[in-house]
Structures are given as structure tokens and as C-alpha cells.
Amino acid sequence: MALRLPPYQPLPPPGPKQELIELPILSLQPTQLCVGLAEVASRIADFEADNLKQRRNYLGTKPVPLVRSRSGAVWMVDRHHRLRALAQIDPGATAFGYVALEVDSDERTVVLQELHQRGWLYLYDGRGLGPLHPAVLPANLLGLQDDPFRSLVWKLKKEKVIEAAPLIPFHEFRWGAWLRSRTLPPFSSQRLEPALPAARALARSSAAAHLAGWKGARSR
């Protein structure tokens, strides 16, 4: 399976003196349709182990790249799993972000087109079907679907089978789409174990060498 995504522009990191803004998490509009709920569950456990001060300090080190319209509507272009987890345990929580792009329009369709042209939208659902119309994007993080293949890739990254590539939009979904095109035993985000041996072997194989973050046999 090949994702029909437009060429992407790397996400710009925050500048050394760029101001961070604090916003309610549920005011941020997602730029993807799904998450891997295994990663969300892991991040929930991490947040629950921290107190409020520790959470805020941590979030300050992981600012969210934001796209803002002329009217002040805001879309998040990364950190969906982290903030979905926090919103589940504290719907009133806030997060820190920086403006990666200002769009000089009040029209939602114009903003979404700007995002699409930059490769900053992921319009495939939890079953890998798409691309769908941007109008189906949920209003906030709590409306995101589960994609078990995204969960599987999170686990492979956690095991260091795959390298991170933080400036490539939807890097993990690209890996997930490739694994979805292979044959794996049945699994779910709640039960990844049946698919892990085969997924590890596939991710280390030369057939995956075209994917960013491929480590090959070095990840053994």
C-alpha cells in the first residue's frame, strides 16, 4: 500500500527566541484522523505518574507546531498522541505551542488547503482507507479513531527497530501503511504481541529500506 500523500515540507522547529503560547488542548484542531491507542495508553500512564507541575514542565519542552488562521482558529500539526492522552485524563488541560504557519484567511477550507499543499494533513482513517475529504477531520482530539498499525509502529520505535524522524509529517503512518500491505497475524492496539515478531522482521528487511528511519539488521 502506498500512501497518496503530497510532497511534504518539513515541519519547522521553534526558533531560539520564538514565543510559546498556551492554549486549551481541546481547542486545537487535529490534522489527522486517527492515532494508535497503544501509544495513547502508554502516555496516559506517564501523565498519571506526574503531578501538575511536572506535566507543565514536560509540555514546555515539547511545544506543538501550530497553524493559525486570521481569526485565531488553531490546528495542531504534531503531538496528537501526547495531547490526546492528557485530554482523556484532564479535559481542561492546556499545552504549549508555537506558530509554524499563519494563514491570512478566516476560511476553514483555505487553511486546510494550505495544510494539504504542505503535506501536513493525514486523511486516512483507522482502517487505512483514504484519502478522505478534509471535512471529516474531527473538531478535537477526542474524536480521533484508533489505527492498530500506528500502534504497532509505535512499539517498533519504542524497541528501537525503527528510528524516529520528527520533522517528517506522519512518519509513523507511512510505516504503518507499508506494514498494512504485508501479511501479519491478527492483532489490535490492545494486543500487539501476535504481530510483533513478523513486524520486526519486516521492518528490518531490505524491502523497507526506502522508508525513513529504517535501520536494517543494525536494530537486532
Query: Residue 23 corresponds to which amino acid?
Result: L
pLDDT of residue 144: 98
pTM: 0.93
CA–CA separation, 80 and 137 (whole Å): 13
HEC-encoded secondary structure of the chain:
CCCCCCCCCCCCCCCCCCCCEEEEHHHCECCECEECHHHHHHHHHHHHCCCHHHHHHHHHHCCEEEEEECCCCEEECCCHHHHHHHHHHCCCCEEEEEEEEEECCCCHHHHHHHHHHCCCCECCCCCCCCCCCHHHCCCCHHHCEECHHHHHHHHHHHCCCECCCCCCCCHHHHHHHHHHCCCCCCCECCECHHHHHHHHHHHHCHHHCCCCCECHHHHC
CA–CA separation, 216 and 220 (whole Å): 8
Q: In whole numbers, what is the pLDDT of the chain averaged over residues?
A: 94
**What would the pLDDT profile of 184-220 be if each residue is shown by its tens digit?**
999 999 999 999 999 999 999 999 999 999 999 865 5
Cis peptide before 30 (omega within 30 of 0): no
Q: What percent of the chain has pLDDT over 90?
A: 85
**What would the pLDDT profile of 133-182 be if each residue is shown by its tens digit?**
999 999 999 999 999 999 999 999 999 999 998 778 889 999 999 999 99
CA–CA separation, 200 and 220 (whole Å): 9
Check if the beta carbon of residue 100 is closer than 8 Å to that of residue 10.
no
pLDDT of residue 161: 97
CA–CA separation, 60 and 62 (whole Å): 5
- 23 Ramachandran zone, left/alpha/beta (phi>0; psi -120 to 50): beta
Domains with residue ranges and CATH for the chain: 21-145 (3.90.1530.10), 147-219 (1.10.8)
CA–CA separation, 73 and 106 (whole Å): 8
pLDDT of residue 210: 92
